[in-house]
Amino acid sequence: MSFAAFLLAATAPAALGDPAQEARAQSLDREIRCVQCENEPIAQSTAEIATDMRALVRERIAAGDSDEEIRAYFRQRYGDFVLFRPPFDARTWALWAAPLILGGAGLFAVLASRRRRSAAAAEFTPEEGER
């Protein structure tokens, strides 16, 4: 595992030693919004505060926090704005339900119009269906 040791030596100080933990950190980096930038996750931002926030993510992981605990930690510090994955609560239930509501309404419309059409289609033979 000299390869891994070499990798570690050259890695920026903020990265975590355990690849699984670092993968978790990178995935969280993509969900947390840089509070100073315009619509960028901290994973991408070059701003100083983003660097600090990335370091904070790794600090919390090293301290044994779960992903959910880390999200809650950032939320508590910076507000809901900091999470690209909006929490499910009284304000956002309609957002999370939107796919179901839209899908349900669409499904209803498709099925209702089909009832009209399938009556008319019953008269055709498959041969007529060939173009």
Partner 1 sequence: MEGRRRAMIAEIGAFAATLALALSLAQGGLGLFFQQSEARAAAAAALAQAAALCCGLAFVLLVTLFVQSDFTVAVVAANSHIDKPLIYKIAGAWGNHEGSMLLWCFVSALFGAIFASVRGSQSLGLWARTIGVQGLVTAGALTYALFLSNPFARLDPAPMIGSGLNPLLQDPALAAHPPLLYLGYVGMSVPFSLALAALLEGKADQAWARVLRPWTLIAWTSLTLGIGLGSYWAYYELGWGGWWFWDPVENASFMPWLVAAALVHSAIVTERRGSLASWTTLLAIMGFGLALLGTFLVRSGVLTSVHAFAVDPQRGIAVLVMLAVALGAGFGLYAWRASTLGQPSGFAAVSRESMLVWNNFGLAVAAGVVLIGTIYPLLVEAFGGGLISVGPPFFNATVAPLLLLLFLLLPLGPMLTWRKGDMSAALLKLAPAAILAVLTLIIALVATQWRAAPAIGLMIGVWLVAGGFIYIWTRLQRGAGKLSAKIALLPLAVWSMSLAHIGTGVLTLGAVAETGFRTEQAVALSPGEGVAFAGRRITLLEVGSVEGPNYSATRANFRVDQTNGAAHALSAERRYFTTSPMPTSEVGILSALDGDLYVALGEQVRETQGAWTVRLYHNPLVHLIFIGVTLMALGGGLSLVALARKRRAAS
Interacting residue ranges for partner 1, rule: CB under 8 A: 3, 6-7, 10-15, 26, 30-31, 33, 38-39, 41, 43-44, 46, 79-86, 91-92, 94-95, 98-99, 102-103, 106-107, 110, 114, 116-126, 128-131
Least distance to partner 1 from the beta carbon of 56, Å? 15
> Could you give the CA distance from residue 122 to residue 111 in angstroms, rounded to a whole number?
16
Nearer to partner 1, 64 or 115 (CB): 115
Q: In terms of CB distance, is 64 or 73 closer to partner 1?
A: 73
62 vs 84, beta carbon nearer partner 1: 84
* Nearer CB in complex with partner 1: 12/64: 12
Please report the DSSP string for 35-102 in residue order.
Answer: SSSSS-BTTT--SHHHHHHHHHHHHHHHTT--HHHHHHHHHHHH-GGGBSS---STTTHHHHHHHHHH
Closest to 23 in 3D by CA, of 15, 32, 31, 33: 15
